[in-house]
Amino acid sequence: MEVISEPTAAAGRLLFGIADYVVFSAMLLGCVAIGVYFGFFKVAVNAEQYLLGGRRMAMFPVAVSLVASSISGITLLGTPTELYLRGTQYVFINVSFFTASLFIGFTYLPVFHGLRMTSNYEYLEMRFGKSARLLGSSLFIVGIISWIPIVMYVPALAFNQVTGINVHIVTPIVCAVCIFYTCVGGLKAVVWTDVIQSVLMFMAVILVIVKGTIDVGGLATVWQRNVDSGRIELPDLGFELTARHSWFGFLVGNFFGWLPIGVSQMTLQRFASVESLPKARMTMWVFITGAMFLIMMSCYIGLLTYAVFHDCDPLITKQASAKDQLVPLLVMQALEDLPGLPGIFVAGIFSAALSSMSTALNSVSAVVLEDFFKTFYGQDALSERQTDILLKSVVVIFGILCTSLVFVVEKLGTVLQLSMSLDAISNGPVLGVFTAGMFLPWVNTWGAILGGLAGLIFMGWVVLGSQAVMATGLITIPSKPVSIAGCSADLLRHLNTTAITAAANSTITADAASSVLPIYRVSYLWYTMMGLVVTLVAAMVISLVTGKRDLASVDRSLVTPLMRWVLPKGRMASATRVDRVRSSISTYEGYKVSQHQWWASKCVSAVKMQVIFTNDQKKKEGS
């Protein structure tokens, strides 16, 4: 990602008009209004309402919120750029999305929803102890701190392209709005702002697709220009792990790449806000459908971008100063004669970033309260008022920290690469620890902790090593050819046309030097699976060496339903009374029976049993 310190507009650069600023400002004011409503008129009375909406949130808004928070500006701007530069192979990243969601719905989700936890890392303490819980929650917080600045920086680049306003000005303003409504409104404010922001996202993408396609001459023109350039292509058919995009990688490797959704605090906190497991599953499938639809539309925008700029590449001519500014440039050209519509698109891009940031901050506040404060000071250490202050303080502190790191991301490219790779480093090991707990009941505490650390170290070596090799130029990613043959004389006047023509019409080829380790050439589609496998293998070996967990001591509610058959029948030996009640309540909620109805039915059953017992005793005495 390139750095923009000052606007570098080429001649004739298109910028926002008054109507666009009005639309963008209206989006921010709408978010503030929702925060005020839920913060001062519909006030959360306790931590459960603040973090989980009282576990009575409606299914559809939660699903829409998940779409908004999972699809960031990186997706809306980065996906089209990927297709513009490298063709349609990336489109097939969705092929394993649905199968992975089905697997999550019947394996991980029943366990988490049944335990009725606020932080999913509480599971690690119940299964492996406090050390495992602190390890998992610490990795989550570090990941969030490095991810949010990137999420906010990318749309700031888009805003710079269409307004000329420096990212140092717009980023603090937008982040302050996000921190405010997340702080005062809690989960309900986050969810309902996500709903509005999702509408903006879909409107923005559809506007660009419809208007841009009409302007370029229709679907046939978009398709033909991409065919002619070699951008329409299927993934490789081979089984090589080094193929960047292959059918094997998408079907198998990327299946595991989607599974971290099933153990993510950001998604599970939303699922926990829905009252029953069937509704949580339906929420997830609605979320998956919406996310896939938005990703596919973003892919089409990539094809449309090439169709528009097929004979005058904006990167070479400096119409766009960074790759992530290709789509905003397309928007300004396609919607320039419709005042306010470019503002809707940029508001949609920022909405995606805001929803991701607000969800992350809300999840961090839950993790700090449940996994750190209550772990060290006890469940009843704080009053409701003190808990409220703590939660809101965490949102403000982490929000300010992440906003400040946006400027670090801009200045230090190596830190940016490290942050973008952090997900790949931690996703596999974290997924591995949760999977060991749910699928391998004989894995013990030492196995889980040391296995997780082994996976983390291994993936750190692989990912950072491959990034370092790519930075040196020993391995490059192939790109499709571009052209400047149709550029105007004004755009070409200040350029060295001889040098750039040769560059524009040449294809970059992959060049893996013989000195590069083969593992550094493995496709990123396999990273999560690699971390998962290393973690599980290490966990099993260490558990065998240190003494396997006694299966009779494993709580059945902590094991996925697919693996409970390996456990001895009978009581839930390691479960506390609270855990048993949670599991029972969850089971009855699956049949849409409330907690109060369940306890009432239990009391009635107890009375009936007592009457039957008394009658039997009287009959015996009479005989």
The two three-digit tokens of residue 139, written as one number: 């990795």
Burial of 81 (0-12, 13-18, 19+ CB in 10 A): buried
Burial of 165 (0-12, 13-18, 19+ CB in 10 A): middle
Return the domain boundaries, the chain: 18-41+48-381
Q: Which residues contact 218 (CB under 8 A, 6 or more apart)?
A: none
Q: What is the DSSP letter of 487?
A: -
Series of mean pLDDT values for 10-residue runs along the chain (623 residues): 39 65 82 76 56 62 74 76 87 85 89 83 89 86 80 76 75 82 73 74 82 90 91 87 87 89 81 80 85 87 90 81 77 76 77 77 83 76 77 86 77 47 78 93 93 92 83 76 79 59 45 69 88 95 92 89 83 41 38 42 51 53 52
Amino acid in the structure at residue 240: E
Q: What is the pLDDT of residue 411?
A: 58
Return d(Cα 319, Cα 8) in angstroms, integer.
8
CATH architecture classification, 18-41+48-381? Up-down Bundle (1.20)
The two three-digit tokens of residue 328, written as one number: 């905003």
Phi, psi dihedrals of residue 473, rounded to the nearest 5°: 90, 5
Q: What is the pLDDT of residue 381?
A: 67
